[in-house]
A = this chain, B = another copy of it.
Amino acid sequence: MEEQLEYKKRLFQKMIGFTSAVHQTSATLTKGVKSDEITPVQYSILEHIMLHQPVTISEISECQHMSMPNTSRELRKLSEKGLCEKVETSADRRKQYIRLSPEGKRVMDVSFQLVEERFLQLIQSMEARELEELAQAIDLLQAKVFR
């Protein structure tokens, strides 16, 4: 059992280094792709909506570790820029569901397109088997640690 703990601590060290590397690589892949009309925080919100829409404001607030007032403000700015919009919902009238507007979708598609090109460069020389291993590794990590 003691050995087990030691093993887990080494795994933790590995995990720290890994998450740091993920941050760096994704920052590199994403560098400069965001439209000039939005701030970094706003980009990150749009990305979240892109991946999880439709989503409530509370959920954005919680997932982005941002207070409700600040989340609300940034969403208002994004709405004013015509990049996202509130969806009518019948259930609980306190909850506001948010989704990208067609323009917001377009803006994010352009960004993602650029990131995709860079990513494809990164994996260009990999064979089918390597790619498959990559996909499996991601699935495993996402299932067990990064949900």
Separation of A43 and B105 alpha carbons in the complex (Å): 34
Q: Min CB distance, A143 to chain B, in Å?
A: 10
Copies of the chain in the assembly: 2
Q: Judging by beta carbons under 8 Å apart, are B23 and A134 in contact?
A: no
Interface stretch among A67-75, A80-88, A91-99, A112-120? A112-120
Q: Judging by beta carbons under 8 Å apart, are B137 and A4 in contact?
A: no
Q: Judging by beta carbons under 8 Å apart, are B115 and A16 in contact?
A: yes
Q: Judging by beta carbons under 8 Å apart, are B147 and A11 in contact?
A: no
Separation of A139 and B136 alpha carbons in the complex (Å): 13
Separation of A20 and B8 alpha carbons in the complex (Å): 24
Q: Judging by beta carbons under 8 Å apart, are B144 and A126 in contact?
A: yes
Q: Judging by beta carbons under 8 Å apart, are B119 and A12 in contact?
A: yes
Q: Judging by beta carbons under 8 Å apart, are A8 and B65 in contact?
A: no
Q: Min CB distance, A117 to chain B, in Å?
A: 10
Q: Does A25 contact B (CB under 8 A)?
A: yes
Separation of A17 and B52 alpha carbons in the complex (Å): 10
Given contacts A116-B12, A131-B7, contact A145 B20 (CB under 8 A): no
Residues of B contacting A126 with CB < 8 Å? 144
**Chain A residues within CB distance 8 Å of chain B:** 4, 7-9, 11-12, 14-28, 31, 47-48, 51, 63, 65, 112, 115-116, 119-120, 122-123, 126, 128, 130-131, 133-142, 144-147
